[in-house]
Amino acid sequence: MPAISTASLPDIVFMLLFFFMVSTSMRDTTMMVSTKLPEASEVAKLKKKSLVSYIYVGPPTREHQRLFGTEPRIQLNDSFKTLVDIRDFISSERDAMNESDRPLLTTSLKIDEETRMRIVTDIKQELRKASALKISYAARQVDRH
Amino acid sequence: MARKTPEINGSSLADIAFLLLIFFLVTTTMNVDTGLNRMLPPMPEQNTKQEDIEVKKRNMLAVKINKSDRLLVAGEPMEVYMLKDKAKEFIMNPNEDEHLPELKEVDIPLIGRRKVSEGVISLQNDNGTTYRMYMLVQNELVAAYNELREDLAKTAFGKLYSKLTPEEQEAVDKAIPQRISEAEPKNVGGQ
């Protein structure tokens, strides 16, 4: 029996490679809180990713629960932060942007749906103080039933 | 034993692979971030005393959510699924009811003279409200505005809102302005 030609194997491998390159997006932050986003039907897409900074709020993931408990916490970049750090975070995000893009800075709030509003309201107040007024409440898109 | 099988022609495998690649390229999407976009009100200046902007009672629909996620709309308890229709009625005031918002005639480019509602929906939540409920209510309110805009787009231009040109969309937005105010935080109903 003659050997099956393997000449096209590289193509298949490349295909898989491309597939994974396309379908997965690079995540530059490791999630330390779990955020199960609420559902919404009227969502709009966030267009330019370079203009968006993220604030994550939710209960710490399993491996961080021993140190940080299970109450919802704020995560900025790669670490747990508190409310007072938000202003510094916003100004450092601003500094990293082009001067012409700065007014377009959007803050995406990725908040776990079980979170109580107290922490959300506090974050909103901090954002107002930092005059980062464009916000987006991240949500999973669902169809209207 | 087995007969000698002819060698499979492998030259078309590359084509198949490329076909699959293109198929995945087309059907899969990068997970885009979606969300409800909002504009926060600017922080009042520290030294100036904040004067409450007088809003006539008829021009305001107060939506309150308490700590056990119950809804109070204009002083009456309500279920979430009824909120959208209530909001739509409030925004449009179709029968020119004097308890519903004032209508002001405004000239709008591309649409012409039109009565524009002065109504503001004020959303107030408790510290103990869950974020899920808050988003549910926000979503219903945005849905009310979106449906009204969709209706107007159909009657005025005969097209879906998403198919309108940016100028036409702006005209529709002007005819039905989205006015959702998130009130200054207050601790209503305790924690």
Q: What is the pTM of this model?
A: 0.78
Is A97's pLDDT higher than 70? yes
More confident residue, A119 or B113: A119
CA-based nearest residue to B65, from B145, B144, B183: B183
Tens digit of pLDDT for each residue in A22-78? 666 555 677 888 888 899 888 888 877 778 888 999 999 988 888 888 889 999 888
Domain ranges of chain B: 57-181
CA-based nearest residue to B177, from B123, B127, B126, B103: B103
A99 close to B159: Cβ distance less than 8 angstroms:
no
CB atoms near residue A122 (< 10 Å) = 16
From CA B132, how far away is CA B125, in angstroms rounded? Answer: 12
Tens digit of pLDDT for each residue in A101-120? 888 899 999 999 899 988 99
Residue of chain B with shortest Cα separation from A58: B131
Q: Report the pLDDT value the prediction gives residue B4, as an integer from 0 to 100.
A: 78
Contacts 24+ apart (CB under 8 A), B20-27: B20/A15, B21/A14, B21/A15, B21/A18, B21/A19, B24/A15, B24/A18, B24/A19, B24/A22, B24/A23, B25/A18, B25/A22
Give the pLDDT band (50/70/90) at residue B54: low
A/B interface, count of CB pairs below 8 Å: 161
Q: How many CA atoms lie within 13 A of B79 on its CB side?
A: 2
More confident residue, A36 or A11: A36
| % chain B with pLDDT above 70 | 77
- This model of the complex carries an ipTM of 0.79
Q: Report the pLDDT value the prediction gives residue B13, as an integer from 0 to 100.
A: 65
From CA B67, how far away is CA B69, in angstroms rounded? Answer: 5
The minimum CA-CA distance between A55 and chain B, rounded to whole Å, is 13
Give the pLDDT band (50/70/90) at residue A88: very high
Report the top-level CATH class of A28-141. Answer: alpha beta
The minimum CA-CA distance between B98 and chain A, rounded to whole Å, is 31
Domain ranges of chain A: 28-141
- Residues of chain B with C-beta less than 8 angstroms from the C-beta of A113: 130-132, 135
Give the pLDDT band (50/70/90) at residue B51: low
- Best probe of the B interface among A22, A34, A42, by most B CBs < 10 A, is A42
Q: Report the pLDDT value the prediction gives residue B190, as an integer from 0 to 100.
A: 45
Is B46's pLDDT higher than 80? no
Specify burial of residue B15 (Cβ count, 10 A radius: 0-12, 13-18, 19+): exposed
Give the pLDDT band (50/70/90) at residue B97: confident
Tens digit of pLDDT for each residue in B132-190? 999 999 999 999 999 999 998 998 888 888 888 888 888 888 888 888 887 766 655 54
Average pLDDT over residues B73-95: 87
Average pLDDT over residues B65-73: 88
- Residues of chain B with C-beta less than 8 angstroms from the C-beta of A120: 131, 134
